[in-house]
Structure 1
């Protein structure tokens, strides 16, 4: 993730280059280092360097890195002829390179030649079965074709090898949620919470899924995870506060007198209502009356 300082530095350098102040190479290096996508700018300033023989030759071995960077940007911008020409130059310089092979496969993908791209990726994986980039490209290709089941299949295969990739777990969870496959999504968020227990977003998403699944046990667990979000955010997550209100109301109905923690529940309801009302008074005083009605309907009051 790019820090605010790094983003500010990148924006300053970009503005400098845009206004003719020089520093195009430094800008391209920073874009590459931060792994951000500024494809139009990379294509524009990268080609300006590559088309200038003196500038290009001054880069030394980094010239080939720039060819690769600009080729990727060209594919993003659908300038496929430009990408094709750059990749050809790379293939001529590095005839046995698997790295160039990835670019060639990605170009096939960009053209929509799905079968050829899949064949190319399969060949690359035969030689390098642990290549994360190629595995991820297969997922992206399935999604681009609208093949959700294929994306799920490739993501699951990827996670069998790279279990520590939290971004992949989250991507898989979001696909499952979009398909209303909540039990599978819940498993993904359980993995994420185990890996990063202090990230409120994962607790919140997990609580939402459990509440959606319903049933007394799930809702009781959802309430605990909403509470953990409040703890992790210092009580500042409104969605979690509402989640506790909804869970408390649902538990009261589902338990039907079996809840042995009525006093504790009542105190929690009161705390939640007070926190919500305080926040609404500060941020949206015009909607305070609507909040009051909603809380009364949930039998939550301060």
Structure 2
């Protein structure tokens, strides 16, 4: 359904999905949700629902993703008419629209300066603070973006989105310890976020791909991600990859040489790791077969991820044809 897709779009929309959503613009824009009568009479004849404006906002984002600037402008104008140009959320959406149309760094700098003026008048506008960080990233000012996000999470320590963004920026600079810390904060706020578990597992893996403690932590988080989402391809991929790396390191001689440090992470038993590797292998094979049997775009899995999973299984001859 059009409304269902636009009301609850995926957090990271692939290009094909974004295109499908943006193509709904003519249908949505063809009908006016509000009456042209003056207020308060307009309320009596309005066709608004609680979902109406969430759909419009998600359609705006899809239109910008696909370069449909004309539809995006119409949607933005409709939202502005409804909520007013001074609305906190509208200021951020207008800025997002201008960012998407910016042709060079000079125009991005102007947008950044506009955000600075808004924040001088209203330092509590978190939506604009986040857009300001996005512009800093676009300008390549990673250190400044990290500083801005650090200030943001200090003032809003339960903002999981900001912590996740800060983790991504730290990881991009190679500061994996700080990146892991930020994602652990995300998990304190959202303990059942399977994608966050998979991301922190990936960072542990990258921080020590030959370290038993690091791989053990990666294994735990990947296992937790698939426990929370039984069809999570990335979680099973990581589970198999880490298991394969960890098993050779868990030989009796390797474990006996480890220092009995109180801070060490207790390693798993080899038989447990082997079992997890078998479960991941079986599940990845099932996902690949499901993807192959489904119609294009209807499996729910990203093609690139499925190809990577097939290649991983091909290495040890585990793909069932």
Query: How high is the TM-score relative to the length of structure 1?
Result: 0.64
Deviation, structure 1 residue 172: 1.2
- Taking structure 1 as reference, are residues 193 and 32 closer, same or farther at Cα in structure 2, changes over 3 Å only? closer
The structure 2 residue matched to 1:44, chosen from 67, 71, 74, is: 74
Instruction: Tell me how far apart the structure 2 counterparts of residues 296 and 115 of structure 1 sit (CA, whole Å).
Output: 53
Cα shift readout 1:201-252 (whole Å, capped 9, x = no counterpart): 1001011111111121010011011111111112x22222222222222222
The aligned counterpart of 2:301 is: none
Pairing 1:166-177 to 2, within 5 Å after superposition: 166-177=160-171
In the alignment, is the contact (CA less than 8 A) between 1:24 and 1:45 conserved in 2? no
Pairing 1:106-255 to 2, within 5 Å after superposition: 112-113=109-110, 117=114, 120-121=117-118, 123-124=120-121, 128-214=122-208, 215-234=211-230, 236-255=231-250
In the alignment, is the contact (CA less than 8 A) between 2:244 and 2:277 conserved in 1? no
* Root mean square deviation of aligned Cα: 4.4
Q: How many residues matched?
A: 249
Instruction: Tell me how far apart the structure 1 counterparts of residues 73 and 146 of structure 2 sit (CA, whole Å).
Output: 33
- Structure 2 gap segments, 5+ residues each: 9-20, 36-45, 61-68, 100-105, 256-266, 294-305
Instruction: Tell me how far apart the structure 2 counterparts of residues 290 and 13 of structure 1 sit (CA, whole Å).
Output: 36
- Taking structure 1 as reference, are residues 33 and 23 closer, same or farther at Cα in structure 2, changes over 3 Å only? closer
In the alignment, is the contact (CA less than 8 A) between 1:17 and 1:23 conserved in 2? no
Greater Rg, structure 1 or structure 2?
1
- Taking structure 1 as reference, are residues 67 and 227 closer, same or farther at Cα in structure 2, changes over 3 Å only? closer
Instruction: Tell me how far apart the structure 2 counterparts of residues 76 and 113 of structure 1 sit (CA, whole Å).
Output: 13
The DSSP-based 3-state class of the residue aligned with 1:112 is: helix
- Structure 1 gap segments, 5+ residues each: 50-61, 80-108, 298-302
Cα shift readout 1:80-118 (whole Å, capped 9, x = no counterpart): xxxxxxxxxxxxxxxxxxxxxxxxxxxxx9673378547
Cα shift readout 1:135-186 (whole Å, capped 9, x = no counterpart): 3344234224221110000000111000111111111122222223221111
In the alignment, is the contact (CA less than 8 A) between 2:184 and 2:200 conserved in 1? yes
In the alignment, is the contact (CA less than 8 A) between 1:206 and 1:225 conserved in 2? yes
In the alignment, is the contact (CA less than 8 A) between 1:28 and 1:46 conserved in 2? no
- Taking structure 1 as reference, are residues 226 and 73 closer, same or farther at Cα in structure 2, changes over 3 Å only? closer
In the alignment, is the contact (CA less than 8 A) between 1:43 and 1:74 conserved in 2? no
In the alignment, is the contact (CA less than 8 A) between 1:230 and 1:241 conserved in 2? yes
Instruction: Tell me how far apart the structure 2 counterparts of residues 48 and 272 of structure 1 sit (CA, whole Å).
Output: 48
**Greater relative CO, 1 or 2 (CA 8 Å, sep 6+):** 2
